[in-house]
Chains A and B, each alone.
Chain A
Amino acid sequence: MKFAIQINEGPYTHEASDSAYMFTKAVIEGGHEVTRVFFYHDGVNNGTRLTTPPQDDRHVVNRWAELAKENDLDLVLCVAAAQRRGIADADESKRNGKDADNIQEGFRISGLGQLIEAGIQADRLVVFGD
């Protein structure tokens, strides 16, 4: 079965990203397919490589990136939400005349159409938020 996951909140403040991560892992372990993980609203903050939690805490960003690498997951940050919140890849940074980018490898930035498409293509859309 095909699952799409939507995450509406950033890391650490809300449990949403942790729950979504645990759920996504369980979907894969259950033999299902995760067609896309879409980060919206403050959820785009899950995709910045500048995140530096204390060593005894989980690294939410790296954890997503590693899960994506191991399982070829499509982690998508909404471009409109990302622009508002200062999350950029090299292209976005250049286009908007910024002096740096901060996206974590393993994530990509794309439009809201990717969420709609995920809703159409997946058998289940599961939303984690506040």
Chain B
Amino acid sequence: MIEAENLTRRYGRTVAVDALSFDVRPGGVTGFLGPNGSGKSTTMRLILGLDQPDGGRVRIGGRRYRELRWPLREVGAMLEAKAFHPGRSARSHLAALAAGNAIPRTRVDEVLDLVGLTSAAGRRAGKFSLGMGQRLGVAAALLGDPAVLLLDEPVNGLDPEGVRWIRNLLTSLAAEGRTVFVSSHLISEMAVTAERLVVIGRGRLLANTTVAELSAGAASLEAAFFRLTGDSVEYAAKETTS
């Protein structure tokens, strides 16, 4: 369970996140949608305490992130594809993170196996393809077997096989009763993966609803999304007519 209450973050005169309130519930995949620059990544960073809010608060299971004693055992996060040192092997990277939260060493091999990186685990992670880097990020997020998962654009740059792998993984994790919060700007991907949606534009909440409700009355989820976010895109291109 993630609860954001009036969450606000400004950078100079720009308001990146503007009095944002929403809940993310366990047992389903919740998609976090919004145009580029709408504040999705900033919100994710605020949830993890990497950035401090100017106002409001966000709690995970009733507590702030930095109050968690062993955070990886409660929250797993993947914020960027390559959050690892290029000179370190995947196994050492995960072993270091595991040691930091007193997670048994055997869990490292389990998650490597789970994401299909066992054979590449000893190689320097700097040589990894984007897809392998994403898998390593997912492995790190799953290390502590957390009840809450946060993934920022997990399918970015993945091939179709990788996209399907992420999709199946997310739905099975949610089916186990976990809270799964996934940001994306790919509406079609969210249409097939998510049950609930939190939609933001210019840092403000536009909708907190189910996929079914949002698409009802529109031709598609995409059409509903554009109607919702029409006023909040940062740089609108002209419609092309042919």
Is the A/B pair a real complex? no
Residues of chain B having any CB pair with chain A under 8 Å = none
Residues of chain A having any CB pair with chain B under 8 Å = none
